[in-house]
Amino acid sequence: MKNLFSRNYPLYLITDTSIAGLSHSQIVKNAISAGVKTIQLRDKDMTKREIHSEAVMIRNLTLKHKVKFIMNDYIDIAMAVRADGVHLGQDDMPIEEARRVVGNKMIIGLSTHNLSQALKAQCHGADYIGFGPMFQTSTKDAGRPKGLRSLRNICSKIKIPVVAIGGISCDNIKDVLDSGADACAIISAIQSGDIKANVKRLMRALYKTVL
């Protein structure tokens, strides 16, 4: 799984229609055109039928442009649209059970908030972990910020890819990746305003160059 995320474009977008003011598929279309290589569809308000409809459109877009598509929570929808993977939370189906359902080819990611959870996720067969929140964020109440020191500790002890999440912006994205994260899951910093311009700013902050 060393090549699960692109080191040249380590942005992992989690869709949020309330921030973007666009549909999930519209968000994805703009993000892909800006160069984002990993997309997660996450929605807690739409019906499953509506989410499935969006997932079908997103799967078509991601296949066309060779972008990884991860479905949040809904294993059945992930399987139905043949997504690349599914992302689970601590209160969702255990990884071992999820693996039996989806098979060995589908990527399984798990949200973690401490070293114990991260080690358990790795032991039970997760392909990557999400770790955070890194910094203060209003997008989701995921507890006290972990900070870069905790991220470095996690990355030094975990062999599977680590995706940092929570409050990541142009001001700190380089520090996050320099601390060992394989990718950065981003919501507000991409979807608040012009998606293409925001992606460009994040990449400029990361590489300290004009894109």
18-70 per-position pLDDT tens digit: 999 999 999 999 999 999 999 999 999 999 999 999 999 999 999 999 999 99
The pLDDT profile of the chain, 211 residues, written as one tens digit per residue, is 457 888 888 999 999 999 999 999 999 999 999 999 999 999 999 999 999 999 999 999 999 999 999 999 999 999 999 999 999 999 999 999 999 999 999 999 999 999 999 999 999 999 999 999 999 877 666 678 999 999 999 999 999 999 999 999 999 999 999 999 999 999 999 999 999 999 999 999 988 744 4
Q: Which domains does the chain have, with CATH numbers?
A: 11-207 (3.20.20.70)
Burial call 168-179: b when 16+ CB within 10 Å, e when fewer: bbeebbeebbeb
* Cis ω before 10 (30° cut-off from 0): no
Which DSSP letter does residue 190 get? H
Backbone φ, ψ for residue 90 (5° rounding) = -65, -25
Q: How far apart are CA 192 and CA 201, in angstroms?
A: 12
Q: How far apart are CA 211 and CA 207, in angstroms?
A: 9
- Which residues touch 104 (CB under 8 Å, ≥6 apart)? none
Helices (H) and strands (E) in the chain, counts: 10, 8
172 token code pair: 């700190």
Does the reported pTM lie above 0.85? yes
Phi/psi of residue 69, nearest 5 degrees: -120, 115
**DSSP 8-state symbol, 179:** T
Answer yes or no: are the C-beta atoms of 133 and 114 closer than 8 Å. Answer: no
